[in-house]
Structure 1
Amino acid sequence: MKREQDNKPDFTKDLNAGILDELTKSGKVKNAVGLAGELTELEEVSNICGLPFTGYLGKIKTPRPSGIIDEVVIAIEKSVAVMQGGIAFEAAAQPGSRLLLSGKMQTLKDFESGRVLVFILADYVAVSPKAMLQNDIALMGELAYTPRHRETPRGKRITDIFVKVQNVLTAGTCFIPCICWQETADEVANWQQGDKVILLGRYQSRKYEKVIDTDSGSREQRIAYEVSVQLINKITVEEGKAYISGWHEPESEAGNV
């Protein structure tokens, strides 16, 4: 006679749900980022994609649990980049130092190149050598387009979505690219444009080749920046109240497409 095994608690889902709840302050915040990693680049700029911006653009290196390294883009206004003790931010934040920051996911289109910059706009930043590595993105918004389901050359099922959030720099809206994996991708593929969602993920980068000329077959290597979804669900609104049912979570870490 076989013994029935007790259902084991899903610690990963519980942990992710706790992080999501903390970042969104129990659903009161719609766009929140917690990031800590190694600074690899920092440049003082006067604009971002042609939009006036007084501050810095940089990149932070963060490792995934699998060991794959992501390099993510950050933007820091000078009014935010204020260090204690009279030390200039650019002097303290040197490549190799560990940066801790919070902020919001944003996108801006560069109309000259046609490319979209996906970045974190910081509302707090500090040089913190002992900060624990972190890469958590929490978003609440609606699906800007119909989800696109596909399969990678390595056989992984994925669904691409864009979550519409407020653009802090333009007071308009921007669309955050997100990618769902495996069973989660299958579920999200059935959702519709305009559905309201809440999700937790990681800001990740991946290299890909884009065909530049179909006649010659010439290709160009590019880097895609997106939120890899770890936990997602639809928000159902009934009679002015919002409800969140069961969570949809990948069964394993994504990353190798």
Structure 2
Amino acid sequence: MRVSNDENAVFVSGTLGSAPELSHSLYGEDFYSAELLVPRLSGTMDHVPLTIPGRNLAFMPNEGDRLSVWGQLRTYNRHTEQGTHLCVTVFAKGIEPLGEEDMPQNEVSLSGYLCKPAVFRTTPFLREIGDMLIACNRSFNKSDYLPCIAWGRNARTVSELPVGSRLYIQGRIQSRRYQKQLSDGTVQDRTAHEVSCSSIELL
């Protein structure tokens, strides 16, 4: 159920691929990073990065534990010698053990604004795709810039929308491996994270 037009909500459950490790501290609070493995119906595994504030870590899970995590999608820029990369993470507001008989889930709902014209393209298998960047506002005058992918008819629709259009999106977070050729000619393996849209509504 939609909570508000400014919603940014994610619920994922699966198997912890790495135990939480201390990432950084901010204003006296520790933040931990981890990775959750969430299977698709096809059997492909999505590697979902987690950021867990210490105050929301009621217990310390271990690698291989089955967990449910809910919170928001957040983005930040990572600066390296090769340049700046937009990183997507699930900011966990709560975690709890996942029952042995409970099925993994991957649900995202967002509302935000189209930051730049959507890029329409067709894959070698003739699938129509629309790449979008959606700005979702949050507290303290901050925004998260979330890469999203629309498919088929939705891809054609978003490719015709003007910048600034407000959208309500439902879908899932997915990971995608790709290779990036650097300026020195070397090739680097990378992982991108984006929201795969199952439905899009113009607000």
1:105 to 73, 78, 83: 73
Q: 1:129 to 1:97 in 2, by over 3 A?
A: farther
In 2, Cα distance between equivalents of 1:117 and 1:227: 13
Runs (4+) of structure 1 exceeding 4 A deviation are 50-53
Cα deviation, 1:48-102, whole Å, max 9, x if unaligned, reads: 8x998612101111111122111111111010011xxxxxx22xx1111111111
Residue 171 of structure 1: CA displacement? 4.6
SS at match of 2:84: coil
In 1, Cα distance between equivalents of 2:23 and 2:141: 19
Equivalent residue runs for 1:83-98 within 5 Å:
89-90=59-60, 93-98=61-66
In 2, Cα distance between equivalents of 1:103 and 1:32: 6
Larger Rg: 1
The aligned residue for residue 232 of structure 1 is 200
Equivalences, count: 200
In 1, Cα distance between equivalents of 2:77 and 2:22: 16
Residue 207 of structure 1: CA displacement? 0.9
C-alpha contact 1:31 1:139 (8 A) present in aligned 2: yes
2:8 to 12, 17, 31: 31
Q: Over aligned residue pairs, what C-alpha RMSD do you find? A: 2.2
In 2, Cα distance between equivalents of 1:221 and 1:157: 25
TM-score by length of 2: 0.89
- Partner amino acid, structure 1, of 2:133: F
In 2, Cα distance between equivalents of 1:160 and 1:51: 36
The aligned residue for residue 161 of structure 2 is 191
Query: Are 2:92 and 1:122 equivalent residues in the alignment?
Result: yes
Cα deviation, 1:116-158, whole Å, max 9, x if unaligned, reads: 2201101111122334311000001111111111122333221
The aligned residue for residue 152 of structure 2 is 182
C-alpha contact 2:174 2:193 (8 A) present in aligned 1: yes
In 1, Cα distance between equivalents of 2:98 and 2:6: 25
TM-score by length of 1: 0.71
Structure 1 gap segments, 5+ residues each: 1-21, 83-88, 236-257
Give the structure with the larger strand fraction.
2
Structure 2 gap segments, 5+ residues each: none
C-alpha contact 2:23 2:33 (8 A) present in aligned 1: no
Identity of aligned pairs, percent?
27
Residue 220 of structure 1: CA displacement? 2.0
In 2, Cα distance between equivalents of 1:117 and 1:163: 14
Residue 211 of structure 1: CA displacement? 2.1
The aligned residue for residue 17 of structure 2 is 40
